[in-house]
Structure 1
Amino acid sequence: MDQIIRIGMDTSKSVFQLHGVNAAEQPVLRRKMRRKEMVDFFTKCPPTVIAIEACGASHHWARLLTSLGHEVRMIAPQLAKPYVKRGKNDAADAEALCEAMSRPTMRFVPVKSMEEQAALMLVNMRERLVRAQTQLSNAIRGHAGEFGLTVAKGLRHIRPLLECIAADDKLPVIARELFASMAAEFERLQDQIKELDSKLLDWHRSNEVSRRLATIPGVGPIGAALLVMKTPAPELFASGRQFAAWMGLTPKDHSTGGKVRIGVITRAGDEMLRKTLVVGATSVLNTVRAGRGKEVAPWLTELVKHKPPKLAAVAFANKIARIAWKVMTSGETYRKPAAQPATACAS
């Protein structure tokens, strides 16, 4: 009865806490190990099922343990948290993972390959550079405003502003030097973002699923690449609504006693992916409001007319997520809605 049937492992940079149970659900393993000890232990351990909390380095450990003959199941932190009995420590977390893994309805995170993680590194680095570019442009605008120099909104106006500052002899020398330094930094960020955009576009063109997703209105190459990279496995979701809920685009439900209370969207899931879909939806809706939308579904026109802009954008992003799930799971290409037949005039 002392044979271990499953192990919950709480990971960190150098310390690993293990909690294992036997067939009678009795704890038979409670150990804290250093990194090398943990690897040696699982090298000698008979093949078993191991639960790890999904985090930054969990995919590396999952690949390593799988290569040693074990079966690894990664659990999202929010799904393992309810099984922590009391307190917060490594031992309690490892026990909670071991317990959560045994639940028949538990959902697991697929293990990413090194190539998939490299692609995610590409989009994360681009996001970091875009944030730095936005922060720098705001700093340039703020400092320029202190000298009475202002321009319209948009990144395309930053370079003309810097050129105007460089040509202004009335500014103090130290201010012109600092603006020149910020101009050099701005150009460097622009070049780095262009380089990453080129690599991201090459990845998008080489991926068949990403190319199909880009045909959906409001998605585009970057949104399509994010959907492919960040979606764990489309077939794990039972429906498009469940996929949209995983992304945090469905209303928060807090109902009890037969009283239905629907709140704002949950904002669960990946923030970058959700933000990208909402921005894409906003762009499409802006073209519809301007009367430039071609072959637009009638329900989308009604949505723009009767709902506030932000609410309409989130609702459309929810629709995009559902369509994307269908495209990914079915292997089909997005088809534009058929034109509505003209109604005959009453005589």
Structure 2
Amino acid sequence: MHKTIVGVDLAKNVIQVCIYRNKKVQSNTEMTPDEFLSWLVTSKAVLIVFEACGMSNYWKQRATDKGHDARLISAKLVSAVRQNQKTDKNDALAIVQASLLPEVRFIFGKSVKQQQLQSIKRLRELAIKHRDALKKQIVALLLELNIRVPNGSARLINKIDYILEDAENELSIEFRKALHVAQQQLNAAMKSVLIYDDCSEKSIQAHPECKKLLKIEGVGPINAINLYIALGCADLGTFNKGKDASACIGVTPAQHSSGGKVKIGTIGKIKNSTLRSQLISGAMSVVKQVVKREARTKKEAWLKSLIERRGNKCAAVALANKTVRTAFAMLTQGTEYKAELLAA
């Protein structure tokens, strides 16, 4: 049990530091980032709790490097604990109060490698959204002029070339210029996605822990990165069991129990819906392949049996659940995945 707890509320230009010792708040002061870094160097090792936010991983890494026990805590929990109006001082105090709750769950931090992988993934997702939005906009605007074009990105770009070269379609010079710019933007967005895909694949090759996840059924480069980011941190906030990780990601049924009665519900909506949907999409691709042929491994036999009883969608969610648990065991125990073949 730490005698001193430091609650830190991070902002872009100022950092609020609340020091709690001997059941009393010793100080609650504002510092600049440079002053806080100097304080980390000169202060004795203490428990420092940061509210999880955009800069919390960086400062957690710096605090750990200086010998402190640094942890992250949920901003939602801090908000629920805060008693008075939202100010930096009250937030820093609420961080301390939240950390003192019994059996409080801290959030695991990300390493620099994980942060970089996550940045590549998010840039790729943004490029895909930009590409798809441009494509839909171009198709819709041309349809208003009774010009029907294909939905595929590559075919659409080729069709625009034909439209721009057609002198008999009565399109104005200004509209042709605007359409040409949109075509260039779409082409650039398509190239961006390809570059991000290449960055992802090369990054995986540089991360052995991430690379070995590719051996799991339904796990491609994107899901390998997803699982490595979500599970690949042996930190204080890491899940104790694989089922805890599955529940957090949202591939287990929701539970509502009261009065000794246990009620298991459906797979509900959760905050990290993108990760869950990508895992289930990967699992569904496996389901579609397994139903077309005989089972080769014990997992495929289990999956085919589940498909017959509950259908493709339920089987895909169950496989995604198993994927998360398998990945958790591989990353925490340093094991390799090898499918168990059926006896001949």
TM-score bracket for this pair, using the shorter chain length:
0.7 to 0.9
Cα shift readout 1:68-116 (whole Å, capped 9, x = no counterpart):
4433212232444443345543333222221333346333334434343
1:62 paired residue among 49, 60, 63: 60
What is the alpha-carbon distance in structure 1 between the residues aligned to residue 195 and residue 157 of structure 2?
19
Cα shift readout 1:208-245 (whole Å, capped 9, x = no counterpart):
22221101111112211222133352683232211111
- 2:319 — aligned with what? 316
What is the alpha-carbon distance in structure 1 between the residues aligned to residue 252 and residue 48 of structure 2?
32
> In structure 2, what residue type is equivalent to 1:129?
A
TM-score, normalised relative to structure 1: 0.84
Cα shift readout 1:26-52 (whole Å, capped 9, x = no counterpart):
222122334444445444433322110
Identify if the C-alpha distance between structure 1 residues 26 and 69 changes in structure 2 by more than 3 Å, giving closer, same or farther: same
1:332 paired residue among 335, 340, 344: 335
> In structure 1, what residue type is equivalent to 2:334?
G
Identify if the C-alpha distance between structure 1 residues 75 and 157 changes in structure 2 by more than 3 Å, giving closer, same or farther: same
What is the alpha-carbon distance in structure 2 between the residues aligned to residue 128 and residue 160 of structure 1?
24
- 2:288 — aligned with what? 286
| Long gaps (5+) in structure 2 | none
Cα shift readout 1:171-204 (whole Å, capped 9, x = no counterpart):
5134433322221111111222222211211111
Matched-pair contact (CA < 8 Å) for 2:135–2:151: no
- 2:259 — aligned with what? 257
- 2:200 — aligned with what? 200
Q: How far apart are residue 14 of structure 1 and its match?
A: 2.0
Identify if the C-alpha distance between structure 1 residues 213 and 267 changes in structure 2 by more than 3 Å, giving closer, same or farther: farther
> In structure 2, what residue type is equivalent to 1:265?
I
> In structure 2, what residue type is equivalent to 1:143?
L
What is the alpha-carbon distance in structure 2 between the residues aligned to residue 226 and residue 95 of structure 1?
34
Task: Among all aligned residue pairs of Structure 1 and Structure 2, give the percentage whose two residues are the same amino acid.
Answer: 27
Identify if the C-alpha distance between structure 1 residues 71 and 322 changes in structure 2 by more than 3 Å, giving closer, same or farther: closer
TM-score, normalised relative to structure 2: 0.84
What is the alpha-carbon distance in structure 1 between the residues aligned to residue 182 and residue 311 of structure 2?
38
What is the alpha-carbon distance in structure 2 between the residues aligned to residue 80 and residue 102 of structure 1?
11
> In structure 2, what residue type is equivalent to 1:21?
Y
Matched-pair contact (CA < 8 Å) for 2:255–2:264: yes
Cα shift readout 1:255-288 (whole Å, capped 9, x = no counterpart):
3224444334344464443232122122222334
> In structure 2, what residue type is equivalent to 1:328?
L
| Long gaps (5+) in structure 1 | 342-347
3-state secondary structure, aligned to 1:214 = helix
3-state secondary structure, aligned to 2:254 = strand
Q: How does 1:231-250 map to 2 (within 5 A)?
A: 231=231, 233=233, 236-250=238-252
1:131 paired residue among 129, 132, 135: 129
The range that moved more, 222-231 or 206-215, is 222-231
Q: How far apart are residue 132 of structure 1 and its match?
A: 0.9
Matched-pair contact (CA < 8 Å) for 2:109–2:233: no
Q: How does 1:24-43 map to 2 (within 5 A)?
A: 25-43=23-41
- 2:7 — aligned with what? 8
What is the number of equivalent residue pairs in this alignment?
Answer: 337
